[in-house]
Structure 1
């Protein structure tokens, strides 16, 4: 491996990196060695002053020492290889000049300088960074030194000794030292580079690993220009685990390698590409969000062309643009969040980062007029605007709020179909339109809505739980001149947030004064647990619930559902009120607020409410008139059973046996059975069956025998005990024994052995039977 790497040292880029790395290593060593030489030169000057004879001025020699010291101080500041080499060459020339000044006037100058001629090149040899520097510096040193010695006549044997020191000892030794040390540094650099490359490279794909990617990204972000745009692309291979589990890890590894090749082919040399871990990859690109999204779409298409044994590979992408001051990890987290949305929304798609919460307001810019109104805001090929649908308090018979509904308009004012306006766009942030709609609605609401009306704002769960959005939305509300107390956030029935996250977020919104509503309860993901954990102030029932009926009897379930929600502390809005009959049912069911086309269609302008007030008032009149009639019908239907039950009670008190006492009553058409309960609610003796006894109910066989149960908790037992001697008819209930809607007529009777409750259970499952008025 090392020999192969060595061959590549001829590459200029690698050679330059080696020399720069050597400069870092050599700078401290050269500084110490050359500083020691300055000290040695000063000792040389001091020794010369101890010798008699004419000498060069001391100031000149000390000047040489000063220049040498300054060159030593310049070494740590040398940032280029050539400057470093030039300092070394000048240093040696000044050193030679200093020696020449120092030996002037001595009797045997050769004895003074010959050791230095051999030692200095040898000591300097390892310090030269490149062979070029070594040859240049050494040649110039010897040339200057020999010129210094050339003026002195010497015997032949002395010349031989001089050349032996220089040519036989100094030159070869310095060459061995330089090239030996150079080779050592080179091999060390290659090994270091190889190890660094191995530590920074994913062995399977050849891409950067996570550590190297993050380190390089940090350098790029720290060293980039203030206006430079950098984006991150995070991608994850879809269903990769199934590939390994079904076809083996070799197939999975090959898929990873193919994806890596696609990334390398589609990106440029300036892009950082990494396998982050597992089946996750990342790309750091010098480009804005739009360019990064375009690249991500190109990558997605290229990866989708890679075959796997059961079809083709796909990948999901998240893209985010770097924001000033944030770290690479924050950037990757935002790209990862977008990737998760791509996964959750169906895979094999690209999703962009979520816009900053305040960007919804900033996007509108000059669209805000001085009075805070926003008529239309440009969005893609059309404009965004607001339509408002009224909500009425049925008890107050007046408008109390308006739901803001987003509409798209073409340049000519025609509406954009909802399927176009709300069509999913994989490469964009689905929450961006949601946040932009909030700013549009709030701006329009300030001028359009009455001062005392609520504004219902639809909000996606993912937007609702977005970090910091509660604070930012409150700022937007106040910026347009509204109070958060007038805004009801209507959480849409949608994916994008856990119930725990929404519960925590709801507390943050309430701190600002917002009210919370849950939309479309009874449809999709909504359930009672969701309500009880979020604890909304208002629940909006799905429009289908107003038309829902119980099985068999076709009786509406709305009254009981409203009663349940009221007991949980929540106000109720029923949506989809389209007919007078539905409005009457909403009033009869004790619904708090109603909304629907019968009460007002969504529109840009608020319609006068007077006609709706009269319609609601008429519904109350219908209910008031019908309640007495409904009660009379019910009473007339159960009265014969009351009479029969009182007759049976008289017979029982007279000592008639149970079968004979109930004989007449048990032949009534709707009679399921006649029974006697003791004071604890347990059945006394067998029941007496009636004509309706053998109707459907076999599936409830394990609980079909009423003698196994205790019934004193039932309203028909309690009401009879409270009114002894009075035949009491219950509201319809679902019988545990028969599984059918039933009505019980009961009577508390005091026998000699104690108090008992006698009764008859009636089949109330037939269509058309009157039910008592609601609670």
Structure 2
């Protein structure tokens, strides 16, 4: 009906104009003065019916307006032919053309049949009153033989065409507005309808709230069990949303595993309660390795806030919920926060204008420029350096792809380009770089090992008015260069005052042996290491990698920070420096640090809040096991056997094995396998028997001895007896003047278990 309104309105309005022309023609041809009032009343009535078409609330009213319209039109035609010698000849155009032309206007075949019958019945009294001649019978026969069949054929043909066209249009509109898998609103349609909902609620008492939810560990579900299983999980979540969310609320899939709900309610607690209900329902959906969970962020609309701004605040709450350990509902913070999903800063905040002219150099047919990307100290929350990056443009000013600019060349060609690039970057840095910032320069390995180039480069630095101690040389990842030569060259460059960095560690031919030989001051980790996770527990590996490099006296720079989640992980992993599109894109002008500082500070806030929540959850999940240790220690002190004392612990859900150790860390009696012990990998069979082992070097042993009489726990570790992430809970006590340690090893691989912040 909505698609038919414009066609019917325009065509019916044009018919009113045609009717007025017909009236004018009647007066002109006959030369008789006509009474205009009846004719104008008919025209006015038709105009009123035309204006009613756009407001018709139903197909019945729409069809009724059409029937009334043709009846009024027929009455007007009859009035207009009154007093003419051969009135039927004057009515012939109306009698045949009007039903034919009106055929496409009827919404349904029923409307067409009723409207056509009403049209002819309206004119029947006049026709019956006219004295018939032979010619009049011929005219009536023409009306019946030509008008009705033609109108019928025209209507049904057009109806079939229109129906298929409108159905296709509706299908295309639905496809453009809905997610193809879940049939929920897609991001574009959700935001459009959300903005409309917000505009309709201005001045109302109802609170509009946004619920942002993200399925936890969804990537691992796709990676381990296939995308078909991931799609099934999305459909399960969709069913929960359709069943639990009120009909008047908006529900959409914004992309991937992210969903959003916009709801109006008298009070904000309604949205928070709905989010918690959804969380519980989703947590009952099974997945192959347990149960599905989701994290939720809730935000309530503020005055004059757009839908995007509201969702951004809900997204920030979701981010905090995920960092606090997943499967939680977090409500917005009271203070205003930055957008958390942006991958680059706004251009207005990202750059500042430099007065100094830019130095440009020529390389073949290309013009070479210097672009800078900032490097931030996360702890200092400020810019501490800029990586100088080479950008090329052809004679038309078109940027060149890196593979064209850095096409394979001989070592001599690479060295020439390197030397030219260093002159360019240092000349520009002298005019633009702050005094207290490092300049990171890329150096090809083949150039780096050239005898004497360290002196040449130092001379270029001094010529530019800079100090080599403020220049960090990044050795690019490359094959074909002996590591020993790189290590000797690094020693020479350090003698000139330069700092050394190894770039892209974690990719290509870069390995740990290369680092240990070169001994760089900085190690730049490839962005892929941010996303690296352990196979079983799905925990990030970045904290362990950073800790290893710190033990080797190397500062760590993480490249490729593109999302807030990656920035938070870098901060929590004790990364020293970071760079990436989130913190500033490469640009010919130096970026401002204000917006980035706020973003880094927000990451610290999220970590502080998440640390407290995760630590509380971690200790809460360990509480029953720590209580059992006290009971076991008391039983052993009272003379119970080892098996009797530790058997109750073995019945707990996470317990893999229970044991008692003597003062040398060896097992007393027999250890008992717990409920989670059956999940051990049978391929590790030679490690199952642990009676002959000595375990006093493990943290769970010496921490217990250091806290005699108190139940303690340790950080999650990889168990040597099961090959799985585990947590040791132990308690040391004295029995018969001997130190004994009773303990249990818990299986800590379930995604529902909290992991504390790495120490």
Q: TM-score, normalised by structure 1?
A: 0.51
Call closer, same or farther: CA 1:692–1:625 in 2, change over 3 Å.
same
Tell me the residue number matched to 1:126: none
Deviation, structure 1 residue 451 = 1.6
Gapped regions of structure 1 (runs ≥ 5): 1-370
Say if 1:491 and 1:517, in contact at 8 Å, map to a contact too. Answer: yes
Q: How does 1:313-392 map to 2 (within 5 A)?
A: 375-392=359-376
In the alignment, the residues of structure 1 paired with residue 411 and residue 534 of structure 2 have an alpha-carbon distance, to the nearest angstrom, of 45
Check if 1:506 corresponds to 2:495.
no
SS of the residue corresponding to residue 509 of structure 1 reads helix
For structure 1, which segment, 642-651 or 394-403, has the greater mean C-alpha deviation from structure 2 after superposition? 642-651
Aligned to 1:549: 533
Shift of 1:561: 1.2
In our comparison, the structure showing a higher alpha carbon Rg is 1
For each residue in 1:501-550, what CA deviation from the matched residue of structure 2 results, as whole angstroms up to 9, or x when unmatched?
A: 11111111111111000111111111122111111111111111111111
User: For 1:69-125, what per-residue CA distance to the aligned partner results, in whole angstroms no more than 9, with x for missing partners?
Assistant: xxxxxxxxxxxxxxxxxxxxxxxxxxxxxxxxxxxxxxxxxxxxxxxxxxxxxxxxx
Cα distance between partner residues in 2 of 1:423 and 1:741? 46
Q: Is the 8 A contact 2:411 2:446 kept in 1?
A: no
Residues 526 and 559 of structure 2 are in contact (CA less than 8 Å); yes or no, is this contact kept in structure 1?
yes
Once the two structures are TM-superposed, the CA of residue 617 in structure 1 deviates from its matched residue by: 0.8
Give, in whole Å, the separation in 1 of the partners of 2:692 and 2:647: 24
Distance (Å, rounded) in 2 between the aligned partners of 1:429 and 1:410: 19
- The reply on whether 1:771 has 2:755 as its aligned counterpart is yes
Structure 1 residue 431 displacement after superposition: 2.4
Aligned to 2:383: 399
Q: Distance in 2 between matches of 1:696 and 1:754?
A: 32
Indicate the residue corresponding to 1:244 in structure 2. none
Give the superposition deviation at 1:716: 0.4
Q: Does 2:462 match 1:497?
A: no
Deviations 1:582-632 (A, max 9, x none): 111111111110011110000111121100001111111111111111100
**2:601 alignment counterpart:** 617
User: Are 1:674 and 2:652 counterparts?
Assistant: no
Q: CA deviation at 1:694?
A: 1.7
CA distance in 2, matches of 1:661, 1:696: 24
Q: Match for residue 540 of structure 1?
A: 524
CA-CA distance at 1:495 after TM superposition: 2.0
Range with greater deviation from structure 2 (395-404 or 430-439) = 430-439
1:519 equivalent in structure 2? 503
State whether residues 543 and 758 of structure 2, in contact with CA within 8 Å, keep that contact through their aligned partners in structure 1.
yes
1:706 is paired with a residue whose SS is coil
Match of 1:447 in 2: 431
Out of 579, 583, 586, the residue aligned to residue 595 of structure 1 is 579
Counterpart-to-counterpart distance in 2, 1:392 and 1:766: 35
Distance apart, 1:753 and its partner CA: 5.3
1:726 corresponds to which residue?
710
| 1:560 matched residue in structure 2 | 544
Structure 1 contact 460–496 (Cα < 8 Å) conserved: no
Alignment partner, residue 706 of structure 1: 690
Q: Flag the 1:731–1:743 CA change in 2: closer, same or farther, 3 A.
A: same
- 1:646 is displaced (CA, Å) by 1.0
Of the three residues 612, 617, 623, the one matched with 1:639 is 623
CA–CA distance in 1 between the matches of 2:719 and 2:659? 14
Query: In 1, Cα distance between the equivalents of 2:378 and 2:752?
Result: 28
Match of 2:559 among 575, 581, 592: 575
In structure 2, distance between residues paired with 1:485 and 1:496: 29
Following TM superposition, by how much is the alpha carbon of 1:710 offset from its aligned partner in structure 2, in angstroms?
A: 0.4
Q: Distance in 1 between matches of 2:408 and 2:709?
A: 68
Alpha-carbon deviation of 1:709? 0.8
2:227 match? none
Cα RMSD after superposing both structures:
1.6
Distance 1:452 1:749 in 2: 56
Residue 373 (structure 1) shift = 6.8
Residue in 2 aligned with 1:754? 738
Is residue 483 from structure 1 mapped to residue 467 from structure 2 by the alignment?
yes
Query: Closer, same or farther in 2 for the Cα pair 1:465/1:724, shift >3 Å?
Result: same
Cα 1:470–1:428 change in 2 (3 A) is closer
SS of corresponding position for 2:749: coil
- Cα deviation digits, residues 703-746 of structure 1 (max 9, x gap): 22111210000000000000011110111000101111100100
1:507–1:613 CA distance, 2 compared to 1 (3 A): same
* Offset of residue 419 of structure 1: 1.6
Say yes or no: does 1:473 pair with 2:457.
yes
8 Å CA contact 2:651, 2:675 repeated in 1: yes
Change (3 A) 1:373 1:492: farther
Distance in 1 separating the partners of 2:752 and 2:424: 51
Instruction: Give the match's secondary structure for 1:429.
Output: helix
Q: Secondary structure at the match of 1:581?
A: helix
Q: TM-score, normalised by structure 2?
A: 0.52
Residue 489 of structure 1 and its aligned partner are, at CA, apart by: 0.2
Is the 1:372–1:446 contact (alpha carbons within 8 Å) kept by the matching residues of 2?
no
8 Å CA contact retained: 1:675, 1:687: yes
What is the rounded CA distance, in whole Å, between the counterparts of 1:426 and 1:403 in structure 2?
A: 25
Deviations 1:657-686 (A, max 9, x none): 222222221110111011001000001111
Paired with 2:356 and 2:457, the residues of 1 have a C-alpha distance of 15
Q: Do 2:642 and 2:668's aligned partners in 1 also have CA atoms closer than 8 Å?
A: no
